Structures are given as C-alpha cells and as structure tokens.
Structure 1
C-alpha cells in the first residue's frame, strides 16, 4: 500500500534540541526519542530517567509525587493561520474547531476519504494561530497534504516543529515548576499562556502512577534556558516516560507505522472527545458517522501489561495474535516501559471479544495482561456515544 503521508523530519534540528537538554538521540518507530541514562534505584525512590528503571516496589503515590520533565522530540506541530484558518480546518479534521473555546484543547484527527486516521493529536489556539500536534515524522507531510486543499482560502499551513519544542511535565511538583515560569497550571484539556510570546501549557488528565500531566510548548530558541530551570526542580526523563502516561490514559498516538490503519472508533477516538458528529463534512466523515449511527464497532483499543525489558517492546503496527487463529486479531498502537518498572505497558487495537477474554499474544508468544481502562468502553451498547 502506498502511504498518503510519507514520513520525514529534520533530524539535525531534533538532534540539536535533544543535545540542549543533555539527552541522547535514538530513532524509534514512535518517532525520535530523547533518552537519559539510568539512575540507580538506590540513589532515589525512583529512577530519574527511563521509567523501566523505576523501583518496582515503589507505590503509585510515590511515583506520582516525583516531578519529571521530558523532551517530547517525537511530537511535531502543524500551524494554521490567517483569516480563514478556522473555517479551513473545520472542513478538514474530525472535531469542531469552530466551537472550540480560546483556552480549550481538543483531540483532533485527519482522515483518508475511507475514514482512516492519517494523523491525530491535540489542537489548540495560540493567539491567531491554530496549533495541531501530530507525530513528528508526519508533521511535514501533513502540511503538504493540507496545503493542497487551501485553494483560495486565506489560510497558511506551516510545519512549526522546528520553531517550537514540546516538553512533558508530570507529577505534583510540576505544578510549582510551571508557576515559576509564569504559567498557571491549566486543568485537563485546557491551555494557559505566560503571555507576550512566552511558554504555553496544556493540561492532560492525571494518570495513576504518574500523576498530573502537562505539556509546555516553548519557542525553540528558549529551550536550553527553560530546560535548565525545569531540570533544577524536576528529574529529567526519557521521552518514553511521557508515552507510558499516554498509554495508561488510553490516548492513542498515530505514527508512520499506523497511519491509515485505524478508523477513529477502533482507537476510541470519539471516547476521548476527538470526533464531533454535529459538525459539517470532512474527509472520511461519511464512513465515521455511519459507524457511529448505524454500526457497532467490532474492534476497540485496550491497555495491557506485557512482560519484558524495554528492548523487547513491540513496535507500533506489530500484529497481535490468538493461538489457533489464521489472521491477526489486533495491532499495537503504542508501547513503553511501565512507570512502576514491572515490564511494559501497551495500548493496542483488537477484536473486542478476543481482548476481553485475555487471549491476545505478542508475535513471540508473550501474553498481554489486560489493565483497567481509564474511561468506560461501550462494548455492548448498541446506542452511539454522546456526540459533541
């Protein structure tokens, strides 16, 4: 299959940003990673770097009470500005951009005409611009794709991935670290700015074992100083620490290996507020709406634990199997070392019956142990979820 979005990104800019934070670069199926060396567990209640090294016996409350900061080099930004920016995106993405408040953050997706997600992530307003965060390798190809449809609209689409850096802050101490930068920590799915072009913070739902979560979006030319100030209060963490939080929150990330693989409902996109069924048309809208109003999804996404070391984490797009079945029963959406150090956490899409019965296996035979979902799944409901 020929992909609509051919992944690419400016590796030199990513490496420079990672170096400013004192981390190491690693290319990964999830996108470029900023990694920190392991800190011995005996030196601290938990490890400061990769979550796989956290003390396995540390209670969740202890983990959540430790503040961390990570450079999210695997996230990129597409920026849309101009007089018609809102109306343009309103006709392109899955959510109701026109109804979005100035301080609101909404999950959004961009689909193929067949209703499969090409890219997805949070979208917010930043002054006169709309910022759409997507997987870093998909940002530039998405810009090219969207630009094809601007036509006479007064809208400018740019890849702003090199102009900004996204930091992930977790744990209770992160709130005070934000305040020291002049930003009041926003509530989940809200944003707040320091003003005058300063940093902008975005709130995400808290996760057990990790605690409250925020993004901090800063101009790239301020990254070094911002990182220095944050690292004085918060423990530097690898990019995978934040991804573990996404997984436990049931927030799917679409990366090159999974672009065009999922309809929104199979990754619970409408359940986290990423689809509006009341707005007008957008690419793939008919397929997505028909499943919502007339269908019943046979596939959903689930969170599981998997035994193994960080190097054995299944890559996004990897098949999940059921013994005796001729065809794969599911696919990995994302994986990361577990925050408590006990193996790996995996967000995966699968046939509902197979996932609920705990029959899914990785390609090497390891069993996926189901974990509680952070939001209810309408697995048996015939009625569609409430629309925005």
Structure 2
C-alpha cells in the first residue's frame, strides 16, 4: 500500500485582494449587509459571505475573517473596488472605516498540515471547508514575510491558477466585475456552503433570498464542467445551446482555470434540463463544447 504523504504546497495568490473593515460600528454595518452571520465570525471561525443588492443578486463574494476589532474580506483583486463602492453607500451611516489594503498584504494558499502554521504570530488563516489541508494565509507584508520564507523552504511552489482549479473542483465560486449583480446566492450554491444565514435578522436582499429558499423553485444551478481549449473563458461569458435551427443563450461562466495544456475546468450556471439534455457550447460556431462533470 502506498503510504507516501503528499508534499505541502505554497500557492502565490497574487490575484486576491483584501478589503479591511473596522470601527466601533463595523459589526452592525456588516451584519445589516452581508448574507452570513457576522456575529459568529472569529479568528477560528471564518466563513464565505456575500453582499447583495436589494433584488437579492450578488454584488460581491468573499472569505470573511475577523482579527481583534477588524474584519477582512478576501476576494479577487480586481473586484475589491466594486465591493468597496457598494459597501460605502451604507457605511456613511455608521462609525466604520472601509479600505482597500491589498497593496500592503501578502496572500497565499497553503496545502498542508495546519500544525505547521498554527504557531505563527501575525499570520491570519482561513480554513477551506472543503478540505482540512487547504488554507488561505495572509497578513501585513512586513509582519509575515519571515513566516512565508520559512514555508517556502518547506513547501513546493504553486500558482494562483492551480489554487483556482482546486476551488473549481470543490464547487467554490467567485464573483468578478463581469458577474456582479448577475447571480442569486442559490444559483451558485451559497446556502449549502454556509454563506447564507436564515436565522439572523434582516440584511439587504434578505427578503428575496429567503423567499427563494422557502417558497421558490430554483431554475438555474451551479455545475462543474470541462472544456477543450487553451484559453479559459472569461467570467460572465454566455453559454449557448441549439434548439432546432436557433441558437439560444442558456447560462453564463462563473469561473474558469487552465487545467492542463488544452483543457479548462469551469463553473457554469445553467438550468438542469440544459445541463442534462443539451450540448452546451461557448460560441456560435460550436467550437467549444462543455462536458458536465458534476
């Protein structure tokens, strides 16, 4: 029997950014805006959360972490300005400060034992719910660079694309500027990922989200698919199917990565009947077909 232990890996997540929220009223501000229960967030209990518009559509999606009196929202780097602008509309009514601190923080993914990093001061850690051996580690660049140098000497280097492939295989979605306000939490499986609380009080979009959960019939679902291509499709790109002689749109790309030389791994949103019964493709020329994995 093969008992070899997989080597640890350190992923350079330069594609991530950080929004910092602090101030005396910051918990009240976020609790009234985010889908998750902010009061349950702690240094040992981070969670995926979303900020939605009044129509219940997702503006931003992030990993939420708390350290001392501040919250940190980790998301794609180019989406931080979108998230910041949306939350600032409500922050003016609270004693709270919101700031993009991405340039001052280092963010890495770590695949390995939590014991290796548990004793590192100043290193904040988000544990991935899909795997006990996957963690996002981050902190102020000057404070944690020594810790990262040690990990680099112990772990194999890996890319942000490789980390994204792991996320996609685990059905962990992301929201980008191209997909902001286009998707509902249920369409990308956020309740199952514990990113939506149905026990906390009201928050923006809550009425629509709760109605979908308790009374609605969800049409569109999240699927993991593969695509033969050397170029990962962009988030927000339209998916099509052919109905008789007509080509019709039936969904969108949520996220994608290059799995190997000419295969892409993607998350898509489409309805169940199309996922099961139709050949889905990316362009009108039918050159790029999707193969649904799960």
TM-score, normalization by structure 2: 0.89
User: Following TM superposition, by how much is the alpha carbon of 1:223 offset from its aligned partner in structure 2, in angstroms?
Assistant: 5.7
- Equivalent position of 1:323 in the other structure: 242
8 Å CA contact 1:205, 1:212 repeated in 2: no
* DSSP 3-state at the match of 1:76: strand
- Over 3 Å counting, the alpha-carbon distance change for 1:160 and 1:223 in structure 2 is same
2:123 is aligned, of 181, 189, 199, to 199
CA deviations over 1:100-119 (Å, ceiling 9, x no partner):
35521111101111111111
- Over 3 Å counting, the alpha-carbon distance change for 1:366 and 1:357 in structure 2 is same
Unaligned runs of 5+ in 2: none
- Equivalent position of 1:56 in the other structure: none
- Equivalent position of 1:138 in the other structure: 79
8 Å CA contact 2:219, 2:272 repeated in 1: yes
More divergent stretch after superposition (137-146 vs 245-254):
137-146
What is the rounded CA distance, in whole Å, between the counterparts of 1:316 and 1:151 in structure 2?
Answer: 31
2:141 is aligned, of 193, 215, 220, to 220
1:98 is aligned, of 39, 56, 65, to 39
Aligned pairs, how many? 288
- Equivalent position of 2:113 in the other structure: 175
* DSSP 3-state at the match of 2:90: coil
What is the rounded CA distance, in whole Å, between the counterparts of 1:132 and 1:214 in structure 2?
Answer: 15
Counterparts of 1:67-82 in structure 2 under 5 Å? Answer: 67-82=8-23
The answer on 1:294 being equivalent to 2:215 is yes
What is the rounded CA distance, in whole Å, between the counterparts of 2:214 and 2:207 in structure 1?
Answer: 10
- Equivalent position of 2:264 in the other structure: 344
What is the rounded CA distance, in whole Å, between the counterparts of 1:205 and 1:323 in structure 2?
Answer: 37
More divergent stretch after superposition (224-233 vs 72-81):
224-233
User: Following TM superposition, by how much is the alpha carbon of 1:222 offset from its aligned partner in structure 2, in angstroms?
Assistant: 4.5
8 Å CA contact 2:123, 2:144 repeated in 1: no
* DSSP 3-state at the match of 1:108: strand
The answer on 1:360 being equivalent to 2:286 is no
1:151 is aligned, of 89, 92, 108, to 92
2:225 is aligned, of 286, 298, 304, to 304
What is the rounded CA distance, in whole Å, between the counterparts of 1:227 and 1:100 in structure 2?
Answer: 25
Counterparts of 1:1-388 in structure 2 under 5 Å? Answer: 65-170=6-111, 174-175=112-113, 179=116, 183-184=117-118, 194-195=120-121, 198-206=122-130, 212-222=133-143, 224-309=145-230, 312-324=231-243, 325-338=246-259, 343-357=263-277, 359-363=279-283, 364-372=286-294
CA deviations over 1:196-247 (Å, ceiling 9, x no partner):
xx1112211456xxx8311111212246544432222222222101111110
What is the rounded CA distance, in whole Å, between the counterparts of 1:269 and 1:206 in structure 2?
Answer: 13
CA deviations over 1:327-369 (Å, ceiling 9, x no partner):
311111111122x777221111111211133632222532222
8 Å CA contact 2:82, 2:177 repeated in 1: no
CA deviations over 1:127-161 (Å, ceiling 9, x no partner):
11111112211213422332232234222212221
8 Å CA contact 2:16, 2:74 repeated in 1: yes
8 Å CA contact 1:77, 1:159 repeated in 2: yes
What is the rounded CA distance, in whole Å, between the counterparts of 2:32 and 2:145 in structure 1?
Answer: 38
Q: CA RMSD in A?
A: 2.3
